[in-house]
Amino acid sequence: MGLNVANCPRCGKVFAQGLHDVCPACVKEIEKEYEACAEFLRENKGTNMHDLSESTGVTIRQITKFIREGRISLMGLPNMGFPCESCGMMIRGGSLCDNCRSNLQKGISAIKGDQDVRERSGTQGPKWNFEIKKRD
């Protein structure tokens, strides 16, 4: 038992882990950043992620965190979005854009399909009965 000591992921200082996953100094900094974002958003409903980040000096990464934590709501902010975790395109929900999501699903079903074929054909390996034709 005892204190859980960890390095602050934000500033690297050693601190006793408690309620927050960053050190107390950073908690205060993040609060300030949140206040700056919230204030800017109150005045600029039409802003987007880049403008918000530039105007407040808060990183897109941190703003994305606020949105994910539900502290910043995208309701009433039509131009705000956060980057897709895979390609960085601005999205307003989930963690991936439509493109990456469907690519991911295709990837998953391709892996599954491959496994099915191998299971069914035993040691012989998959037999492909189709030709790939070039389309004009």
Count Cβ atoms within 10 A of the Cβ of residue 56 and give its class: 0-12 exposed, 13-18 middle, 19 or more buried.
buried
Minimum CB distance to Zn ion, residue 49 (Å): 15
30 binds Zn ion (CB under 5 A): no
Q: What is the DSSP letter of 69?
A: T
- Give whole-number Cα distances, 16 to 2, 12, 29, 74, 132, in Å: 10, 12, 17, 34, 60
Quick one: which segment of 21-29, 34-42, 68-76, 103-111 binds Zn ion (CB under 5 A)?
21-29
Q: Which is nearer to Zn ion, 26 or 63 (CB)?
A: 26
Minimum CB distance to Zn ion, residue 108 (Å): 16
97 binds Zn ion (CB under 5 A): yes
Give me the helices (H) in 5-123, please. Answer: 24-43, 49-56, 60-68, 98-121
Minimum CB distance to Zn ion, residue 46 (Å): 24
26 binds Zn ion (CB under 5 A): yes
Quick one: which segment of 16-24, 37-45, 54-62, 68-76 binds Zn ion (CB under 5 A)?
16-24
DSSP H/E element including 83: strand 82-83
86 binds Zn ion (CB under 5 A): yes
37 binds Zn ion (CB under 5 A): no
72 binds Zn ion (CB under 5 A): no
> Are 36 and 72 a contacting pair, CB within 8 Å?
no
Cα 59 from Cα 105, distance rounded (Å): 30
11 binds Zn ion (CB under 5 A): yes
Cα 47 from Cα 24, distance rounded (Å): 30
Binding site for Zn ion (CB under 5 A): 8, 10-11, 22-23, 26, 84, 86-87, 89, 97, 100
